[in-house]
Amino acid sequence: MIIQLEEKLSAKRKENILSKVNAIGYKTNEVRTHKGDYLVCIGKKEFDIRGIGSLEGVLDVHRVSESYKLVSGKWKVNPTVIDLGDGVKIGGGGLALMAGPCSIESEEQVKKIVDHLVKNNVRIMRGGVFKPRSSPYAFRGMGMDGLKMFSKVCRKNGIKIITEVMQVSQVEEMHDYIDVFQVGARNSQNFNLLDALGKVDKPVLIKRGMSGTIDELLQSAEYIFSNGNERLMLCERGIRTYETAYRNTFDLNAIPVLKEKTHLPVIADPSHGIGVREHVAAVALAAAVAGADGIIYEVHEKPEEAASDGQQTLNFLESEELVKRLRKLIS
């Protein structure tokens, strides 16, 4: 059960609500975000919900039986819209585009990609400076110096930044240079990181783990929300299956299913989703038809020279073509 509390509730009224909920055998968790105050109540017993709804200080009350509560679409009918400022919004209709290289490599590389994005009216740039790599000998990213440069070039050109945060200690140092924190597939269940991201005032995109279920993804998002941050979006990026003909299996099913289960924006990552450059556009288009709120994909001036994931990265021509096709599709 989720209880939405009135703003600036007196301690006495809150105490009364808590004791009534405890009396019906439910445990309470208090959640405060920049948007509202909630009580997430966990229990199994049957009770008359009207008894709670009529208590003073209760704005609304909803029964949510799923393991995840605050990210469920059951209590919040209106979709969550993430406003990054300057007219850049994600969710609530339309298709948000985020594009950029797998890794930030140099100022020259960033400038060229920013020019490409500006030209195509793509307002959000992706690019990792902390790269989770299977091999410790592979390029692991430019780190904070790279992020500062990336941020400077983007801010100058009105482009918003999404980039991966790998550990709790990076959250604070990255904060001022980014617009959206990305939680990678490998950190989808790094609960300490999720807790920390619940305490920041910036949106978070959380990727599905490589072998994560839909339910686990939603519960990971619940970690962040229940810690106080409801500016969240979910990302399908392909899962590991027995198939070896491509890098990952993009789970198209996840798009409509997530859209049904949650009010959060659902983003598709066709680049990691299939991992094969020639087929990235087909997967992106399919995800848009399936109802995705946004597409995040990899683009580089010279994919064959990219420091990471070149095999799934579009060149500028392919990227321009994809943007045109996506916009035509949703218009």
Among 123, 237, 247, 263, binds ligand PEP (CB under 6 A): 237
Q: Report the partner that residue 247 touches, choosing among Mn ion, ligand PEP, none (CB closer than 5 to 8 A by kind).
A: none
The secondary structure element, H or E, covering residue 99 is strand 96-100
Q: Should residue 102 be labelled a site residue for Mn ion when binding is judged by CB under 5 A? A: yes
β-pair partners for 160: 124
Number of residues in contact with Mn ion under rule CB under 5 A: 2
Taking the complex as a whole, the smallest distance from the CB of residue 131 to Mn ion amounts, in Å, to 8
User: How open is the CA angle 137-140-145, to the nearest 5 degrees?
Assistant: 140
Q: Which long-range contacts (CB under 8 A, 24 or more apart) does 113-116 make?
A: 113/299, 113/300, 113/301, 114/153, 114/154, 114/157, 114/159, 116/299, 116/301, 116/316, 116/319, 116/320
Q: Should residue 128 be labelled a site residue for ligand PEP when binding is judged by CB under 6 A? A: yes
Q: Should residue 102 be labelled a site residue for ligand PEP when binding is judged by CB under 6 A? A: yes
Q: Report the partner that residue 222 touches, choosing among ligand PEP, Mn ion, none (CB closer than 5 to 8 A by kind).
A: none
26 residue type, one letter:
Y
Q: Should residue 310 be labelled a site residue for ligand PEP when binding is judged by CB under 6 A? A: no
Q: Which long-range contacts (CB under 8 A, 24 or more apart) does 238-243 make?
A: 238/210, 238/269, 238/272, 238/273, 238/274, 238/275, 239/208, 239/210, 239/211, 239/212, 240/210, 240/211
Taking the complex as a whole, the smallest distance from the CB of residue 96 to ligand PEP amounts, in Å, to 16
Taking the complex as a whole, the smallest distance from the CB of residue 207 to ligand PEP amounts, in Å, to 5
Q: Should residue 309 be labelled a site residue for Mn ion when binding is judged by CB under 5 A? A: yes
Among 79, 132, 143, 291, binds ligand PEP (CB under 6 A): 132
Taking the complex as a whole, the smallest distance from the CB of residue 285 to Mn ion amounts, in Å, to 20
Tell me the C-alpha distance between 116 and 119, whole Å. 5
CB-based burial label for 42 (10 Å; 0-12, 13-18, 19+): exposed
Tokens 């392919």 found at: 318
Taking the complex as a whole, the smallest distance from the CB of residue 87 to ligand PEP amounts, in Å, to 25
On the CB side of 244, how many CA atoms lie within 13 Å of its CA? 0
Number of residues in contact with ligand PEP under rule CB under 6 A: 9
Phi, psi dihedrals of residue 193, rounded to the nearest 5°: -65, -40
Q: Should residue 71 be labelled a site residue for ligand PEP when binding is judged by CB under 6 A? A: no
Smaller CB distance to ligand PEP: residue 259 or 300? Answer: 300
Q: Should residue 184 be labelled a site residue for ligand PEP when binding is judged by CB under 6 A? A: yes
Smaller CB distance to ligand PEP: residue 70 or 162? Answer: 162
Q: Report the partner that residue 237 touches, choosing among Mn ion, ligand PEP, none (CB closer than 5 to 8 A by kind).
A: ligand PEP
Strands 294-298 and 96-100: parallel
Binding track, positions 264-303, relative to Mn ion; x by CB under 5 A:
----------------------------------------
Task: Find the part of the chain contacting ligand PEP (CB under 6 A) among 90-98, 182-190, 214-222, 282-290.
Answer: 182-190
Q: Should residue 61 be labelled a site residue for Mn ion when binding is judged by CB under 5 A? A: no
Phi, psi dihedrals of residue 223, rounded to the nearest 5°: -55, -45
Are 324 and 318 in contact by the 8 Å Cβ rule? The answer is no
Task: Find the part of the chain contacting ligand PEP (CB under 6 A) among 27-35, 37-45, 86-94, 178-186.
Answer: 178-186
Q: Which spans of this chain sit near ligand PEP (rule: CB under 6 A)? A: 102, 128, 132, 184-186, 207, 237, 272
